[in-house]
Each structure stands twice: as C-alpha cells, then as structure tokens.
Chains A and B, each alone.
Chain A
Amino acid sequence: GEDVEQSLFLSVREGDSSVINCTYTDSSSTYLYWYKQEPGAGLQLLTYIFSNMDMKQDQRLTVLLNKKDKHLSLRIADTQTGDSAIYFCAESSGSNDYKLSFGAGTTVTVRA
C-alpha cells in the first residue's frame, strides 16, 4: 500500500489544543481521513477532507491539508479526557476509493 506516516504518541493537558500530524505519498488520493479508535473498539470516521481543500473545520476539529508537501494535520481544540484515543490518518487508494491505507496511529493521552 501507499505510505502514510504519523507520530506515535502525543500527550496533552486537558483544555489545551492537540495537533496530530501526518504525511502521505499518494498524490492521487481524492480524500484524506481521520479515524478515531477508543479503547476496546473498532475505528470510527472522525472527519475527512477533499483533496482540493486546504482547510476544514467541524466544531472542535480543524483539518489542514498541504497538498504540495503531502502533509495533513488534525487540530482538536479544548482537548477533553474523552479525546484520549488512537487517531489514524488514512488515504484512499487512487484506483479504489474503498481501499484505505492507514498510518500507524497516534496515541493521544489527555492529562488533567
């Protein structure tokens, strides 16, 4: 599959902003995604961005896309304890929108 890279761990204080970064390699990806995995559960789609957009905001979540550098980030404002989870960056394969390539996942720990 295509390479999607992200840092493995992030520790953030409750109330602060979290920023999770991701780089990808497939320039033909139509959409890029952020999935969230809570302990003991499968993955759930958190948000996404279309490849011709630079930014998308959805309540506390802001997604930034730098297509030239193939860099994607997810910012969570006012981070809460319920945001503690593993966050996966993913891109769709250029030839198959259903087949996703995932990063290794960033474990976000929110401390009081």
Chain B
Amino acid sequence: DVKVTQSSRYLVKRTGEKVFLECVQDMDHENMFWYRQDPGLGLRLIYFSYDVKMKEKGDIPEGYSVSREKKERFSLILESASTNQTSMYLCASIATGSTQVTNSPLHFGNGTRLTVT
C-alpha cells in the first residue's frame, strides 16, 4: 500500500517564524503536491513537483516555497509565517503513467494542521 507520511499532525508556530512541513512517500512516485484545505474553500493547490529539483506553482503559491532534493521527500516552506496561513495542509503523490482512474490514484497524507499565532 502506498503511504504518504506527513511528519507532523499538529503544529503551532508564531508569526514571522520559518516553518517546514515535511512529506515523504514510499512508492517512488515522481509527482508530489501540496494543497491547503480551508472550510468553504476546499483544496487549493500551492505547489507541485514532477521530478527531483523540479517544481511548479499552483494556484496560491504566494508566501510559500518548496524543496524536492530527493524523490521521496517534498517539503513546503513558509519563509515567514503569517496568521492567514493557519490551515490544514495536505500532501499527495502519484506515479507518472498512472491515471486517477486506475487503482493508483492521487494518494493523500493525513494532513498537518498548522496554527500561526
């Protein structure tokens, strides 16, 4: 079974801190994604990566950056956390060549709930 692991379930940080959210997948997937989930807004794509050291902006990249130094790990970085970045963050991965309709759809981690005070 594919496992997408987000290192922290809950995180509380102060405004202005640099924050790292880590995500690791164990199935050699090329593509990895960071979404944030907010009530009434659903999931919005922040960044995605289709290969090591490759990244592309999603719909809401402002205030975030990412790092993909190894295939299995995709990090989301908040350079200077702000209260409007309080949210649930979801990481996901999928192998190139898969489609959503095979039994290898987008696999999600359980999320990191970040609170910025």
Interface residues, chain A, with chain B CB atoms under 8 Å away: 1, 4, 8, 31, 33, 40-45, 48, 50, 88, 92, 97-105
B: number of interface residues (CB 8 Å): 27
With CB as the reference atom, state the residue of chain B lying closest to A106: B42
Contacts of B48 in A (CB 8 A): 98-99
Q: Would you list 23 pairs from A and B whose C-beta atoms are within 8 A, ordered by A residue?
A: A8-B40, A31-B99, A31-B101, A33-B105, A42-B4, A42-B90, A42-B108, A42-B111, A43-B106, A44-B108, A48-B100, A48-B101, A88-B43, A92-B100, A98-B33, A99-B33, A99-B48, A100-B45, A102-B42, A103-B42, A104-B40, A104-B41, A105-B42
Contacts of A103 in B (CB 8 A): 42
Q: Give the contacting residue for A41; candidates B35, B101, B110; CB below 8 A.
A: B110
